[in-house]
């Protein structure tokens, strides 16, 4: 029986751990770049540094042909380690694409990054200020978990890891329509930064239909009970994959969030998911 192209793209694959090219960069407060081999499927990238503290990595970005495909701040990556109780090792920072903690093959590989042989793929690492106990001059190497694109699969799905900002004009219920939402773009997790406005209640809607509603205490409890996720001060996390929506996540067409806030201020959101950009026939 022939497999659909999507089933082939999300099938279990053999992975290899490879060393990436040498980094171009020289110091703190500088953007370092590393060329990534095209034609590979990337599952995660690991930064190997001589840093003692975990504050100097400000931003990690994967760029293809001048377009940012996925990025995250260093602070957000640290938040994920704490919330999901992942390992920390001095000097090592991890940028995940595939999600191997999901139990299905489709869930694990849905957010992998497929690159084509003609792609110009660059890893960009923005260093900030030196930490008090960090060495005088930073060093950076990188490695990656990859698989060979032996079937020459196209980039059917694109991982989506980025930030967006909404504004609370007062202590009130604010409605935020998810920007550029569509049925083919799905979010697995979204996190709201509460440094300026704390959130006490969350309602998720599609159009006028309410999909889910939690008080903050209920949400934090459900994340702990269902996913073993530890709430972190100043960050409101919604993980749709453990709250009953499956590893495919929440479609964003017509998606809205109603947030009850305690003050006015900007609220940065951190989005993690994927978008289907190619729609092949079911059978090839």
pLDDT surpasses 60 at 84: yes
Over range 8-30, report the average pLDDT.
Answer: 86
Burial label, 264 (beta-carbon count in 10 A; 0-12, 13-18, 19+): middle
pTM above 0.85, yes or no: yes
Phi-psi bin for 152: left (phi > 0), alpha (psi -120 to 50), beta? left
Sheet holding 255-261, edge to edge: 173-177, 255-261, 199-206, 209-215
pLDDT surpasses 90 at 283: no
Mean pLDDT of the chain: 93
- Beta bridge mates, 251: 186
pLDDT at residue 7, rounded to an integer: 63
Over range 42-50, report the average pLDDT.
Answer: 97
pLDDT at residue 105, rounded to an integer: 75
What are residue 263's phi and psi, to 5 degrees? Answer: -165, 170
pLDDT surpasses 90 at 117: yes
Percent of the chain at pLDDT exceeding 70 = 95
Tokens of 65: 């042909």
pLDDT at residue 11, rounded to an integer: 59
Burial label, 207 (beta-carbon count in 10 A; 0-12, 13-18, 19+): exposed
pLDDT surpasses 70 at 165: yes
């Amino acid at each position: 029986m022939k497999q659909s192209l999507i089933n082939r793209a999300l099938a279990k694959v053999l992975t290899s751990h490879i060393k990436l090219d040498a980094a171009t960069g020289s110091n703190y407060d500088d953007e370092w770049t590393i060329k990534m081999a095209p034609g590979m499927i990337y599952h995660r990238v690991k930064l190997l540094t001589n840093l003692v503290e975990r504050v100097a990595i400000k931003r990690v970005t994967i760029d293809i042909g001048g377009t940012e495909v996925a990025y995250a701040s260093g602070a957000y990556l640290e938040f994920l380690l704490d919330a999901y109780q992942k390992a920390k090792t001095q000097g090592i920072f991890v940028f995940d694409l595939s999600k191997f903690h999901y139990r299905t093959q489709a869930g694990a590989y849905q957010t992998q990054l497929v690159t084509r042989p003609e792609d110009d793929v660059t890893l960009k690492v923005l260093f900030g200020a030196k930490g008090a106990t960090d060495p005088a001059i930073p060093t950076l190497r990188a490695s990656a978990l990859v698989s060979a694109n032996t079937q020459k699969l196209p980039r059917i799905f694109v991982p989506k890891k980025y930030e967006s900002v909404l504004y609370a004009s007062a202590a009130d219920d604010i409605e935020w329509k998810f920007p550029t939402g569509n049925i083919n773009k799905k979010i697995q997790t979204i996190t709201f930064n509460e440094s300026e406005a704390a959130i006490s209640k969350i309602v998720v809607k599609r159009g006028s239909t309410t999909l889910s509603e939690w008080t903050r205490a209920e949400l934090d409890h459900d994340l702990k009970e269902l996913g073993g996720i530890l709430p972190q001060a100043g960050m409101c996390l919604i993980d749709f994959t453990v709250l009953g929506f499956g590893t495919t996540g929440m479609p964003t067409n017509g998606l809205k969030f109603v947030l009850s806030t305690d003050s006015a201020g900007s609220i940065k959101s951190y989005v993690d998911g994927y978008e289907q950009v190619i729609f092949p026939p079911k059978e090839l």
